[in-house]
Chain A
Amino acid sequence: MSSPEFSHRKRPWFSGHSLLAFWIPGMILVGVIVLALLVIAIPVLRNPEYLASAAADPVVFQAFLVTFLAGFCAVGILALLGTPLAYALSRSESPYKGLVETLVDIPLVLPHTVAGLMVYLLFMSRGVLGAPLGELGLVFEDAFPGIVAAMVFVSIPYYVNAVREGFGRVPVQLENVARSLGASRIRMFLSVPLPLTTRHILYGALLAWGRAIGEFAAVIMIAYFPVVISTLIYYRFNTGGIAESQAIAFLLILLCLVLFFIFRFLTRRAGVYDDRS
């Protein structure tokens, strides 16, 4: 049994138990993020009139609305189409699975302008998908659906990879038991792996939404209008100067932080099933 003096003794920082050797290089990265936030926040807070004018500007408000709404639509489409794809990838034993995985990852490695070009060529009014969908009344060029299409395209790998990892953690034995108890494959999917992957689905949705609302190059190539927030910041940077664009950027950061915080708070218990905690 250890004595009280021993148990209260402080470990020296250089002992093998310290994480300092890992924290030091890691904090360089964290420091860069904090610095980047400060260079936006300090000038804005010093001249709050720019912030007030940006907050009251109906164009800014509309750009936020369009961006966030388009982001939610993109996440909705990803949830509907990406969740089954993630499950199929996590369970498939096909030799072609690697090929599909590579295709899913392509938007991750492409320059955003190339992704924008692809989206434009696909969804423009004479595009492979744009032309037939245009006949059905769905227009993408300089329209809200174009923004959503660009956001979906660039966010696919973020959502699919996060959710696929979640499905991969569900033991296949649980699914086998559910089938033996009378569940068809679809009912088994809805009753066992889907609820057990809630946490990864939410995390994937958050990643995809964050990536979607931040997209600039791919969005402006298909839809300069209606203006999304990243387009507006770039426009104001060129026409109104740094101070004007800084104020909008600060608002965006603030809103995102609040939304991320609310999201994490609301989902902190999602996917946790334990009487003891």
Chain B
Amino acid sequence: MMIGVDSVSLKRGTFSLMGVSLEVPEKSYTVLMGPSGAGKTLLLETIGGFHTISEGKITIDGQDVSLYPPEMRGIGFVYQDYSLFPHLTVEENISFGLKMKRVPSAERKETVHTLLSSFSLLPLSERYTGSLSGGEKQRVALARALATRPSALLLDEPFSALDPDTRSSCMDEVKALQREYGLTILQVSHDREEAYRLADQVVVMDRGVVLQSGLPATVFSRPGHRTVASIAGYENVLEGTTGPADGEGTPFIVGGVAIIVHGSFPVYTSCLACIRANDISLSRTDIPRNGSLNIIEGQVVSLIATDQGTRLRFDGPFPLIIEIPRHIWPDRGYQPGEKVRVSIAPEDVHLIPLAGEHVNGVVRS
């Protein structure tokens, strides 16, 4: 099943989806990302048929289903909290859809038994859902959604309520299910790791508009918008202006200094320079300069220990966040207030022309 969203607009209270377009190819796994309040769940619910759109159309395999009620769209839906029916047992939850579709009792029992068995839920079949663990609830929700054999699934942050171990195994299960059932999946997520692991396509949206879509590696390495850069994990987004290019690259002027950037850009254009915290090197000022480009001096503001090592706040001509990997840190031992030198490789700076930030695939001018 291929899902198409074509210039869809709708208003809910003070929030609006504005001309949203995206395509979820058949049997693909698409991850929808964006900050809180971006409209991801609203878009998912709109595709599911729970809201009436004011403009545009929603298509399934090319057929306009914008006016179809949810029960006629044949799309499964799993919410973040799984929304299991608390007044029904696990078995009754899974057979709910089959009952609604008036599947004969014998066939219903067989299908439910198969699903209970394949999701390892047989021992829980008579239990009410209120006392199940997060992982068990998720398995029930998926089994319930798959019981009616939908061709597409809409998943609203299905892994966010799980502990890290369960989360990892559930992701593998869902990916395996997608392949086994040939499902088209559109999933909302906040997590880049989830997108890398599951997605064939990533769509990033904010404030009711789609900002960028494409392969995860492409979207995360070449963001076309400040929000996408933030979601892609660029901790440093600096606003500045390009200067006239020379043999070494294009100078990007920020905080009164020039950073050389690879590639050619129009001169005197306002841009955002995106730099990952772990792409910045740090050294003491008493170490001789090695002649490399983009060496900036400043001081350490603060240090925070993280899983990966140490996160350091730097202040110089402009502020930076720097990640020092664990294996380097013990030898350095920087202190707040200490004078330091940072170096940034030109190829590690990604420039986004501000006038060319992409919105819904259209360059904003």
Q: Which residues of chain A have a CB within 8 Å of any CB of chain B? A: 171, 173-174, 176-185, 187, 191-192, 195-196, 271, 273-276
Q: A182-B101, A273-B128, A275-B127 are in contact. Are A171 and B70 (CB under 8 A)?
A: no
Residue B290 is within 8 A (CB to CB) of chain A in the complex? no
Q: A181-B144, A182-B148, A187-B100 are in contact. Are A196 and B87 (CB under 8 A)?
A: yes
Secondary structure dominating the interface of B:
mixed
- Measured CA separation A17–B110 after assembly (Å): 56
- Does A177 contact B130, Cβ atoms closer than 8 Å? no
Across the two chains, which residue of chain A brings its CB closest to B101? A182
Across the two chains, which residue of chain B brings its CB closest to A194? B87
Residue B234 is within 8 A (CB to CB) of chain A in the complex? no
Across the two chains, which residue of chain A brings its CB closest to B80? A173
Q: Mark B70-86, 1 if CB is under 8 A from A, else 0.
A: 11010111110101011
- Does B71 contact A177, Cβ atoms closer than 8 Å? no
**Looking at A173, A174, A185, which has the most chain B CB atoms within 10 Å of its CB?**
A173
- Measured CA separation A182–B70 after assembly (Å): 8
Which one, B45-53, B235-243, B265-273, B299-307, is touching chain A? B45-53
Which B residues from 15 to 61 make CB contacts under 8 A with A? 45, 48-50
- Measured CA separation A53–B97 after assembly (Å): 60
- Does A195 contact B87, Cβ atoms closer than 8 Å? yes
Q: A196-B86, A274-B130 are in contact. Are A180 and B70 (CB under 8 A)?
A: yes
Question: CB within 8 A of A275: which of B71, B85, B130?
Answer: B130
Q: Mark B91-106, 1 if CB is under 8 A from A, else 0.
A: 0000011001100000
- Does A178 contact B100, Cβ atoms closer than 8 Å? yes
Q: Which residues of B contact A276 (CB under 8 A)?
A: 130-131
Q: A173-B79, A174-B85 are in contact. Are A182 and B127 (CB under 8 A)?
A: no
Quote the shortest CB–CB distance from A183 to chain B (angstroms).
Answer: 4
- Measured CA separation A182–B99 after assembly (Å): 9
Across the two chains, which residue of chain B brings its CB closest to A170? B86
Residue B69 is within 8 A (CB to CB) of chain A in the complex? yes
Given contacts A176-B48, A176-B79, A275-B131, 6 further A-B contacts (CB under 8 A): A176-B70, A178-B96, A178-B100, A179-B69, A180-B75, A181-B148
- Measured CA separation A187–B270 after assembly (Å): 57
- Does B70 contact A179, Cβ atoms closer than 8 Å? yes
